[in-house]
């Protein structure tokens, strides 16, 4: 793997990035790097590992083929829209505790991860998953309060005005206080 490049992309080497590199190593056994939206990654955390997935597998928020579910778990599901194949890669139970018990510092953890087979850390299984819809582009409409262009589907209606979510929440808080 192009370790130097992904470290440059991420900003530093760390255990999370190393775990992400192992996730990618597994994913590449099943799938080619995505070009557009044919490969989808559903990530269940926002850790450093996700940067390795973005870098190596070309799954990104911008293309709509990187989906974030805030579950706080080192679980990564990859779906091939073209082939109808999906795998779920999950960190094995107690791995984080094992890292804490066995190693004195982050560098030792990183080296241990990078030098090991991915199967040491991750369970992999094929799963049946319906791929999410491909990314859709919606028109932007100015928020009635702040004027910032907002995706039409994210606007909220309050007293006949179209508000972006932050302005909508501010208005609701004001009403609750009065």
What mean pLDDT is predicted for residues 3-21?
96
Residues 6 or more apart whose CB falls under 8 angstroms from that of 158 comprise 168, 171, 172
d(CA 142, CA 125): 45
> For domain 3-126, which architecture applies?
2-Layer Sandwich (3.30)
Tens-digit pLDDT profile for residues 14-65: 999 999 999 999 999 999 987 888 999 999 999 999 999 999 999 999 899 9
- Structure confidence at residue 2 (pLDDT): 86
User: Which CATH code, of 3.30.460, 2.20.25, 3.30.60, 3.40.50, is assigned to 140-177?
Assistant: 3.30.60
Q: Give 166-176 pLDDT, tens digit per residue.
A: 999 999 999 99
Mean pLDDT of 147-164: 96
Residue of 145, 176, 137 whose CA lies nearest to 162: 145
Domain parsing of the chain, residue ranges: 3-126, 140-177
Contacts of 157 (CB under 8 A, 6+ apart): 163
pTM surpassing 0.85? Answer: no
Q: What is the mean predicted confidence (pLDDT) over 124-129? A: 96
Any residues with CB less than 8 A from the CB of 141 and at least 6 apart, and which? 149, 150, 152, 155, 162
- The mean pLDDT value of the chain amounts to 94
d(CA 175, CA 83): 51
At 1 the pLDDT is: 58
């Amino acid at each position: 793997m192009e370790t130097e490049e992904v470290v440059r992309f991420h900003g530093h080497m760390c255990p999370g990035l190393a775990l992400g590199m192992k996730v990618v190593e597994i994913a590449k056994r099943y799938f080619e790097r995505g070009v557009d939206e044919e490969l989808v990654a559903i990530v269940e955390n926002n850790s450093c590992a996700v940067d390795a997935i973005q870098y190596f597998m070309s799954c990104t928020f911008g293309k709509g083929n990187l989906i974030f579910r805030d579950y706080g778990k080192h679980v990564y599901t990859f779906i091939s829209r073209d082939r109808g194949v999906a795998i779920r890669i999950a960190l094995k139970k107690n791995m984080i505790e094992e890292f804490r018990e066995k190693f004195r510092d982050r560098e030792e953890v990183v080296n241990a991860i990078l030098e090991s087979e991915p199967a040491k850390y991750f369970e992999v299984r094929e799963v049946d998953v319906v791929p999410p819809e491909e990314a859709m582009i919606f028109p932007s409409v100015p928020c009635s309060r702040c004027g910032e262009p907002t995706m039409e589907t994210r606007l909220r209606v309050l007293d006949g005005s179209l508000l972006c979510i932050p302005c909508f929440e501010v208005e609701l808080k004001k009403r609750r206080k009065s």
